[in-house]
Structure 1
Amino acid sequence: MRVFVGDESLYSIDEAIKVYLSSLNFTPKIVKVEVKDSFGYVSAEDLMSPIDYPPFSRSNVDGYALKSSCTPGELKVIDRIGIGEFKEIHIKGCVAVEVDTGAMIPMGADAVIKVENVKLINGNFIKIDKKINFGQNIGWIGSDIPKNSIILRKGEVISHEKIGLLASLGISSIKVYEKLKIYLIATGDELVEPGNSLSPGKIYESNLHYLYSKLKENYKIVGLSLLSDDIRSIKNEIKRAISVADVLILTGGTSAGEKDFVHRAIRELGNIIVHGIKIKPGKPTILGIVDGKPVIGLPGNIVSSMVVLNMVILEILKSLYPSRKEILGLGKIKARLALRVKADEHRNTLIPVYLFRSIDNSYYALPVKFDSYMIGTFSLTEGYIMLGPNEEIEEGKEVEVDVKKFDDSISIIGEEDKRILNLDTKNVLLGSLPASKAIDYKFGDVAVISSLFTEPIENYDKVLCRQILVNGEGEEIGYDDWIGMSKIVKNPVVKLKSPSTIYSLVGKARVYAPEGYIVGDKVAEECLYMIGISERGKRYLSTIKV
């Protein structure tokens, strides 16, 4: 008896996926894996950095740590700090300490001059002919990753770069969703295993080979079977597969032929939710459930299997995990620069970028400050651009971006605040300068800009006001120029990336931070204006309480 699948009742691809997923009640298992083995897994938790990275202010070159205000001039070298050494040295005047690349910077120093740029005098003095800039050749504590900042989101696919970051932060194991166990079955009297001789009327089996090669990287294949068109054998193999797998995928036997037994076996053992999809090739696809587990039937035609796997099945498999809206495999794309960039004078220079869509659906690349020790910046950003020696590109110009991934979730660009850090969004909280560029060029979803950075703003969607406090005595700790609070501290010895980095310096210097980060005396008030850039950004702001 032939069973025809009529065109009039077929679902579209999106409808079929939606109807099927709403019928499933699948909960992925959570397991703990070693970080070194976690590539390709989906994170089952939001993970925060347990330390500042770097965990101390470090020298980026072999040279001499000093106060930039003492240059040019002659300075006495009072000590030496090697990599891995700790010495309680406090530079209070115009003296220098010799340091290795990666060594701790002594307290009070705010710059390092390269060893090749000084002249040695009388053994323990150095002569510096030019002015050295504040912060030159220093990687400040937490300048890459502040302690307690989110480094891995629940639902994020773990990359090779992210593994390097987790290890750099001392994390040895993480919670992930166990990879789906998939069983593959091909059916058909006409099928012959490759490697055997082909008799008249027979064809070589290819679906299992294709499905296995396509799925094995991200999923665990726990069984492969080649069956003849026999209803009893098919039903028995389905039962066996369901007992060991999370998902069963069969090929062949889904259409209207007299020997198409797969749809009958699934119906007798469970339920068929969708039989037939508006797609060519691939119309007689089956989406069913047996013992609460997904059982999917693909047409026997190899091209149909390829099309349905890529357009339907992979979307279903990804949806069985709580996953983020990440787009992988974009390769190289064209994007416009949100900020000017400049390469090293003598070397090709890699510059990491975050990617955002603008309201006209084009891409913008936001470059970030970067040095070679910044594993966090490199792994958290979404791509990079390469510049030739001494090359300079102005903002607004088009560049080619090598894309690692693109998180198309709701994005928030601008100032950091604890009320924002808790939001499950794509947070790029690097200060008001990037936020102002997002507003100017209309990219991203939400901008957060400081009243200390800009003139009063009238048109905003939400506002967060907070007191800025000061704690401690001695040398002042300030912030990067992109951040609104940088306007408060006039002569900092350190410029931090964000208020999250302040904790390790409390009690050691005069520190400034918003309420909620430290206790202290009020020195200013700051309002953070939250501005919806895109329509979805405005809708999002209308639904949240911060």
Structure 2
Amino acid sequence: MNSLEPPSTVGRRVSSNLMLHTRTKFFNALSLDQAKGRLEALMEDPRFKPSRETVPVKEALGRVLADDVRSRSDSPPCRVAAMDGIMVRAEDTYQASLSNPVRLRLDSQTRLVDTGQPLFDEFDAVIRIEDVKLEARIAEVVAPVVPGQYVREAGEDVRRGQPLFNSGRTLRPADLGLLLAGGHTQVTVIKRPSVALIPVGSELTEPGREGGQGRMIEFNSTMLAGYIRQWGGEVKSPGIVPDDEGAIADALCKSLREDIVVFIAGSSKGRSDLVPSIIEQHGTILFHGVNIMPGRPIVLGKVQGRPVVGLPGYPVSALVDLDLFVKPMIFRLQGLKVPERPKAKAWLSTKIPSKLGVMEFVRVSLRREGEKLVALPLARGAGNLSSWVNADALLRIPEDLEGLPAGSKVEVELLG
């Protein structure tokens, strides 16, 4: 996305008392489909498109190709030996046998060669070193060879001009090797989407620092940053921002140079949840609240053309919302579709109650019982990160159901 100048009003420090009197209660939850529709409309903005950059091939692992790529050279570039041994003229060996070995003089009738070394023009075959007896600069050959034996021809792997990869490919380690073999040292890729990740909370402290009573270790940003990088994005973080409207607005101002701005916490409707009102002051609220569990108190807005997301502070809520609403933007900015999670059929081990009108994402572990795959529900609290870590899959309970009975056959989404 193109860089935009932040508005002059962003970052203006406002009295917290004034804010408490004037902020609006935006919380009006949409269905997941409605919220997804508004996200899709945001991503249709012409400015919301991939950017390109050229990087060294050696640094391109995991990057997405911006263009189709053809080989610039043959690989191998010339005839080379496929084995250690001697290079020979095949016709000089046609009479060779165990009873009548052919003796060839080194440096005139034959030459030593190592794997990968070019063949001299006058030679057309290679004999493995273990099949040759060398003595006093004479190579004794006991079997005939044919032209091309143990020889790799020029362009055997890749020919000059041959298509190597199509645009949109995510480069793997072997791909880098093929690019280099094909004569490329630089490659044009999609620029990594940059995500500003801003943890909010006066109660937060950095890991490893003295917390004290009432202080919470800030771990959400590290966890969420890992997923963002896994999806191809890069993360910029200013560190912890206190529950202060001016400080949050300053952080927003400084982050508008990034493609996506994500606040962690401060997105609900409590006294210290300031993110929605700040987005509304300096931009537009697209939605605030989605009827899902966990993850209901999410806000999505737009400031100066930039998408701004406010995630809930509870870790599992933040994970669910990051996956549902930030992940699609990261993939869109790389010109990619979000890959679907693999799915499996399973049978519920126990009854799961659920609230009507809310889509619930239930963490489950999986185990085999005979030929059946059984899903066992785990702790459902939005703050229970350990149950996410121990989960094998997610089970979606649609909003039009009040739960599922024990023994139900369900479809689960496998977690990687």
Fold match by TM threshold 0.5: yes
Q: Secondary structure at the match of 1:227?
A: coil
Counterpart for residue 241 of structure 2: 227
Does residue 62 of structure 1 match 2:84?
yes
Deviation at 1:125, TM superposition (A): 5.4
Question: 2:190 is matched with which residue: 177, 187, 190?
Answer: 177
Deviation at residue 134 of structure 1 after TM alignment: 5.9
Query: Quick one: which of 51, 60, 69 aligns to 1:38?
Result: 60
Is contact 1:59–1:99 with CA below 8 Å preserved after alignment? yes
Amino acid paired to 1:322? G
Structure 2 distance, partners of 1:204, 1:3, is 29
* Preserved CA contact (<8 Å) 1:110 1:134: yes
Query: CA shift at 1:15, angstroms?
Result: 4.7
Residue matched to 1:302: 315
> What's the counterpart of residue 161 of structure 2?
148
1:343 aligned residue: none
Q: 1:162 aligns with which of 138, 153, 175?
A: 175
1:25 aligned partner: 47
1:451-490 residue pairs with structure 2 within 5 A?
none
- 2:299 maps to 286
1:347-496 pair list within 5 angstroms: none
Normalised to the residue count of structure 1, the TM-score between the two structures is 0.50
The Cα of 1:249 is off from its aligned counterpart by 0.8
AA aligned to 1:260 is: D
Q: Cα distance, 1:54 vs. partner? A: 0.2
Q: 2:155 is matched by which residue type in structure 1? A: G
Which is richer in strand? 1
Match status 1:197 vs 2:211: yes
**Is residue 103 from structure 1 mapped to residue 130 from structure 2 by the alignment?**
no
Counterpart CA distance in 2 for 1:267 and 1:18 is: 20
Tell me, what secondary structure is at the counterpart of 2:77?
coil
Q: 2:145 and 2:134 mapped to 1: Cα distance?
A: 17
- Hey, what does 2:391 align to over in structure 1? none
RMSD: 3.5
Could you tell me whether the CA contact under 8 Å between 2:191 and 2:334 is conserved in 1? no
Judge conservation of contact 1:192–1:198 (CA < 8 Å) in 2: no
Counterpart of 1:180, as a letter, is: P
Deviations 1:149-189 (A, max 9, x none): 23343233333433333334443323233333322212234
Give the equivalent residue in structure 2 for 1:434: none
Q: Which runs of 4+ in 1 moved over 6 A?
A: 324-329
Give the number of the structure with larger relative contact order, counting CA–CA contacts within 8 Å between residues 6 or more apart. 2
Q: 2:250, 2:164 → 1: CA distance? A: 46
Is residue 2:270 matched to residue 1:261?
A: no
Structure 1 residue aligned with 2:354? none
Q: Output the CA distance in 1 between the equivalents of 2:34 and 2:130.
A: 68
Q: Is the 8 A contact 2:50 2:332 kept in 1?
A: no
Which residue identity is paired with 1:300?
G
Q: 2:250 aligns with which of 224, 228, 236?
A: 236
Please list every run of 5 or more consecutive structure 2 residues that lacks an aligned counterpart in the other structure. 1-23, 343-416
Alignment equivalent of 2:130, drawn from 116, 125, 141: 116
Q: Deviations over 1:439-475 (max 9, x none)?
A: xxxxxxxxxxxxxxxxxxxxxxxxxxxxxxxxxxxxx
Distance (whole Å) between structure 1 residues aligned to residue 163 and residue 307 of structure 2: 34
CA distance in 2: counterparts of 1:18 and 1:54, whole angstroms:
47
Report the Cα distance in structure 2 between the residues aligned to 1:78 and 1:17, rounded to whole angstroms: 76
Q: Which whole-Å CA distance do the structure 1 matches of 2:337 and 2:293 have between them?
A: 29
| CA 133–12 in structure 1, closer or farther in 2 if over 3 Å, else same | farther
Provide the identity percentage: 27
* Distance (whole Å) between structure 1 residues aligned to residue 50 and residue 213 of structure 2: 44
Q: Mark the CA change 1:137 to 1:312 in structure 2 (over 3 Å): closer, same or farther.
A: farther
Structure 1's 219 and 72: CA in aligned 2 closer, same or farther, altered over 3 A? farther
Q: Alpha-carbon deviations, 1:184-230, whole Å to 9, x = none?
A: 21223443333232324x43322223233444574443332423333
Q: Which residue of 2 aligns with 1:317?
A: 330
Query: How far does residue 250 in structure 1 lie from its aligned partner after superposition?
Result: 0.6
1:261: how far off? 2.1
Which has more radius of gyration?
Answer: 2
Question: d(CA) in 1 for partners of 2:36 and 2:183?
Answer: 42
Paired residues of 2:53 and 2:188 also in contact (CA < 8 A): yes
Unaligned runs of 5+ in 1: 82-94, 330-546
Q: Is 1:272 matched with 2:279?
A: no
8 A Cα contact 2:95 2:102, kept in partner? no
Instruction: Note closer, same or farther for the CA distance 1:123–1:232 as it changes in structure 2 (3 Å cut).
Output: closer
Inter-partner Cα distance in structure 2 for 1:24 and 1:261: 30
TM-score, normalised to structure 2, is 0.63
CA deviation profile, 1:252-297 (whole Å, cap 9, x unmatched): 1222334322122222322233444454322333332211122122
Hey, what does 1:502 align to over in structure 2?
A: none
CA change 1:270–1:80 in 2 (3 A) is farther
The answer to whether the 8 Å contact 2:78/2:154 transfers is yes
> Residue 174 of structure 2 aligns to a residue in which SS?
helix
Aligned partner of 1:44: which letter?
A: A
